[in-house]
Structure 1
């Protein structure tokens, strides 16, 4: 007889009422660390997955300023937290004379509270007053800094956020950390409210924001000017979107499984060249007639942080393309060692402001780990396959390999020439000896 059919055993086992109550309570509770709303399109601000954080260390953690709830009230951010209140006061000093006070800002954001909470993947343990205060304080600080750096309003004399040259570069990076965001529509509402009537000719919020971050992205002004009405889920998504809108997406799926490509050294041995090209976005990579054309990308502290946080956003948010992830995967394929980085630097594909060539190689190799995306539907799927087919094709690859081995450097050419001359002399000596 099976134990489950024995009523005596069932009678002997008594239900622990306290444990039963605990289990029922757990069943009734909603998840907090990854809320049920995290799967909705409205949810766009996430904790970085542990799998990525373990690989890339502190790349996702803000260094000097906390924006939003995830890193709020940590003592290490107290210095900039104090200046947030000063910047809020600076903004209100201009708007109060025109009838806009602090209470108006709080009321406007209060109408958006429920929508703003849905943007976070975690349940935010703040009451309404605390949450609204945080949105207004952080949003007005960002907007006022945008205006001051954009010279719409002057900085106060001897403002330490400007006079101390180390602070602004950290703010550029911290404002683009995935865990350090507030919803873009909050910034839009506060920007709309705080624009005075005589400021009607001021730039749009997207233009002002992209101009602010262009101190680090260093794109031509005419490129930034093309996005006056660009929107994003938050600032990270806004800047990310400014790099991806015009990519060729005509072919969404290739007919055969997509193959990853080899590193630079192996591609060169097969006669595939990599050349720089002038394009608006570093993502705009093409391949034709044995040549990969890639725009120049500057790898520094800002760009490395930006790439990693965009990649984390694409891994978490189900409403965007995987373009940054695809590009990082491409670079991970191309780069195996510092020699590959050295070649890309020599070809002006990479401007290395990051460190040694080995450090750049380590960055891309680490960034390419623990990411998930569909290589068959990515925007570079056709390029991956075309390069793979060219690499495997016939006689020209063997000839290219011969040239790469014997004529790639002056020393290899001299060695090959010396070997050829020695062979000719040996044959001649043998011939004349036979004739004699």
Structure 2
């Protein structure tokens, strides 16, 4: 039976380890954040897979119901940058440097996220927001550089938003790459640590995965946030 020469040539390239795109033989894209298959959503409640308070990452970015939290993300960036003593451009450059790796993390990323600066802006705002929320939760909302009546980063904000944000953070389609958090932590707190020195990931009895900071490494920096019981 005759076979297409083009098909044979393509398979031969894979056998030689040359897929034509620079990737090694047998390699797959580095996706680690996926969309929930539509048939699963159809079998259950589609709203159960959608964030209710805040979007993290590209899959639900721009949802009108989640837009009110966007202005608070900008405030989170401002506070984290001011506390670091470094310019905003430094943080933008840090995220820009790993942009391709972050994009590859997401399965079926829309074409619009490969154009312009929107992807870097979103990653910076979402990453800073998550770190600032973790800091506020750890301190029970009593954070010194936010006003006591702050609608998000305060005792009041933690009381009313913690449950909703925690539920949103564990959603499969509402994730941030750990690489992003590593780089932002290094930029904000003047440390350049490997990921396994910063974050500890462990399962719980409830089947969740929790992210912890290995805080003993940073005992000399009182501003370093201790992330505890933040599920991913």
TM-score (norm 1): 0.37
Q: Superposition pairs for residues 10-409 of structure 1, below 5 Å?
A: 40=28, 42-57=30-45, 58-96=47-85, 100-124=86-110, 125-126=112-113, 127-151=115-139, 153-154=143-144, 155-161=146-152, 162-164=155-157, 165-196=159-190, 229-230=199-200, 238=201, 242-243=202-203, 281-282=204-205
Q: 1:167 to 1:205 in 2, by over 3 A?
A: farther
Equivalenced residue count is: 175
Q: When the two structures are superposed, what TM-score results if normalisation uses the length of structure 2?
A: 0.66
1:75-94 alpha-carbon deviations (Å, 9 max, x no partner): 11122111111111111221
Write the distance in 1 (CA, Å) between the matches of 2:43 and 2:149.
40
Cα distance in 2 between the residues matched to 1:148 and 1:190: 17
| Partner residue in 1 for 2:229 | none
Give the superposition deviation at 1:51. Answer: 2.2
CA-CA distance at 1:156 after TM superposition: 2.8
The Cα of 1:123 is off from its aligned counterpart by: 2.9
Q: Distance in 1 between matches of 2:147 and 2:40?
A: 40
Tell me the CA shift for residue 41 of structure 1: 5.6
8 Å Cα contact 2:182-2:198 kept in structure 1: no
Q: Which runs of 5+ in 1 are unaligned?
A: 1-35, 207-226, 231-237, 244-280, 283-296, 298-302, 308-436
Change (3 A) 1:111 1:228: closer
Q: Secondary structure of 1:45's match? A: coil
Q: Is the 8 A contact 1:105 1:193 kept in 2?
A: yes
Rg larger for: 1
| 5+ residue gaps, structure 2 | 1-20, 210-232
**Post-superposition CA distance 1:201-222 (Å, at most 9, x none):** xxx988xxxxxxxxxxxxxxxx
Tell me how far apart the structure 2 counterparts of residues 168 and 123 of structure 1 sit (CA, whole Å): 29
- RMSD between aligned alpha carbons? 3.0
Moved >3 Å (runs of 4+): 152-155
More helix by share: 1
- How far off its partner does 1:194 sit? 0.3
Instruction: Please state how far the C-alpha of 1:229 moved relative to its aligned partner.
Output: 4.5
Structure possessing the higher relative contact order (Cα contacts under 8 Å, 6 or more residues apart) = 2
